[in-house]
Amino acid sequence: MGTRTTDTTATDTTTPEAEAPDKTTPEAKAPDATASDTTASDTTASDTTSKDATTPDEAAASDDAAATYATEGLPEEDAPRPAGVAAGAGAVVAAGLGLASVTGTWLGTLMAERQTLLGQIKLQTGKTTDQIAAVYGTPWHTTALVNGVVAVLGMLVAAVTLTRARATWARALAWGGLALGVLGLVIAAGMYLDLFAAMPSMPSTPQPGGPPMGH
């Protein structure tokens, strides 16, 4: 009987020792749970950083969009236009050509003097006998022709400028050049067709042997 009691006691005593590893199992698993939590925190931080970061392309696109919005908000006359300088220069040229067609040009004067010289040469060589037409009429018509060409050029430049100009001052200057060109063309046409004054003519001389004057 005493022997059996001793064996039972030994068995009961060793049983808790065998179960000891089971009690330490949760403690061994605790570091794994902590490591997984740390990894999740790092993943969340990296996602937040990637969302906050902005690439250079996205920054440039946002700047372009802001500039476009600012430009669209400006009035039509204040918005930057590459053709603004060319339109202004065209308006000035049109006004200058229109004014020159009315007042005359250096080229017209030079061509008229050349025709006068040619007329004198023709008279001296006997190629023509109409002194007025050779010395006065042809130079007059040459001046009118040059002024008409300048007027047409001014009108063309003014018309092109009006289709491109947006600034008020450029359009006003182009309209002024167009009006002067029309006026210069009308004057040139009148000069060439002798509408303002008839061509002078030599008075008729009495025939030799005719009746004396006063009878």
pLDDT tens readout for residues 24-37: 444 444 444 444 45
Structure tokens at 58: 């996205």
For residue 22, CA distances in Å to 25, 26, 29, 92 come to 5, 8, 12, 102
Question: What's the CA gap between 194 and 202, in Å, rounded?
Answer: 17
Question: What's the CA gap between 181 and 147, in Å, rounded?
Answer: 10
Q: Is residue 90 part of a domain?
A: yes
> Domain limits at 162?
84-192
Low-confidence ranges of the chain (pLDDT < 70): 1-83, 204-215
Structural domains counted in the chain: 1
Q: Is residue 78 part of a domain?
A: no
Q: What pLDDT sits at residue 200?
A: 79
Q: Is residue 59 part of a domain?
A: no
Question: What's the CA gap between 92 and 176, in Å, rounded?
Answer: 10
What's the maximum distance between 2 C-alpha atoms anywhere in the chain?
A: 201
Q: What pLDDT sits at residue 34?
A: 46
Question: What's the CA gap between 21 and 28, in Å, rounded?
Answer: 10
Could you report the per-residue pLDDT of 52-71, keeping only the tens digit for each? 445 555 655 566 655 554 44
Type of residue numbered 200? P
Q: Is residue 30 part of a domain?
A: no
Q: Is residue 164 part of a domain?
A: yes
Q: Is residue 199 part of a domain?
A: no
Nearest Cα to 153, choosing from 191, 87, 107, 96?
96
Q: Is residue 26 part of a domain?
A: no
Structure tokens at 112: 């008229």
Q: Is residue 185 part of a domain?
A: yes
How many other C-beta atoms can be found within 10 angstroms of the C-beta atom of residue 130? 15
